[in-house]
Amino acid sequence: MSLFVVVGAGPVGRETARLLAVEGHEVRLVSRAGAKPIDAGISGVALDACDGQSLARVCAGADAIFMCAMAPYTKWPTDFPPIMDGVIAAAESVKARLVVLGNIYGYGKQAGSPLTSAAPLAPTSIKGRVRTATWEQVLGSAVPAAEVRASDLSWRRGGLAVHAHDASALACREAGHHARRSPRPACLVLYQRCRASSRCGLALFG
């Protein structure tokens, strides 16, 4: 059994924590409000991830940190960098690996299809530049890290709609599958996207 810390108790963070707990691991789910445990093996921790020193104490002994926190949509330029600063500082302090939940904003409007791990980051929007910059923060650190980049698009594979693009370690396995908009209800798309994003993050350790 290993110890994992999940930062952010939104849909993806909670699903990631649940999947880790199901595998028998100890999980600490960090959020400002302190998430209530959703399964045995998960403990909720009330903490602002911007506080790298306090987060490092929570992460002591962790094999990896899953960065699933989400800044308010209108405050990405101001709120994302300090969150990432705190998470990186904690990971460096305890020598843990880091998995970051990202998205595909950084590829810009001219991105080709399908996306693969070889696609360059070329943001054309403020939010894209923010997410690219936060990933560059990680790359500039001493932390072994990977980023799972998910979107609200899906591609068809063997009759199954898969709702996450991983543009780091896993996308190369899916090269050739074209993205398409899903006709499914938005709530179901969001749910499946969360599950797929979480499973991609866990698969990086598989």
In terms of DSSP H, where are the helices of the chain?
11-22, 52-59, 76-94, 126-139, 186-203
pLDDT by residue, tens only, the chain of 206 residues: 899 999 999 888 998 899 899 989 999 999 998 877 677 889 999 999 999 999 999 999 999 999 999 999 899 999 999 999 999 999 999 999 999 998 889 999 888 888 877 889 999 999 999 999 999 999 999 999 988 887 754 444 444 333 333 333 333 233 333 333 333 333 333 344 555 555 655 555 55
Task: Sketch out the chain's domains with CATH numbers.
Answer: 3-203 (3.40.50.720)
Whole-model pTM: value is 0.78
The 3-state DSSP composition of the chain as helix, strand, coil percent (nearest 5) reads 40, 20, 40
CB-based contact 72:79 (threshold 8 Å): yes
3-state secondary structure 48-74: CCCCHHHHHHHHCCCCEEEECCCCCHH
Quote the CA–CA distance of 64 and 20 in Å, as a whole number: 11
The residue among 149, 116, 169, 177 whose CA lies nearest residue 12 is 149
Summarised one tens digit per residue, pLDDT across range 120-150 is 999 999 999 999 999 999 999 999 998 888 7
Instruction: Count each helix (H run) and each strand (E run) in the chain, helices first.
Output: 5, 9
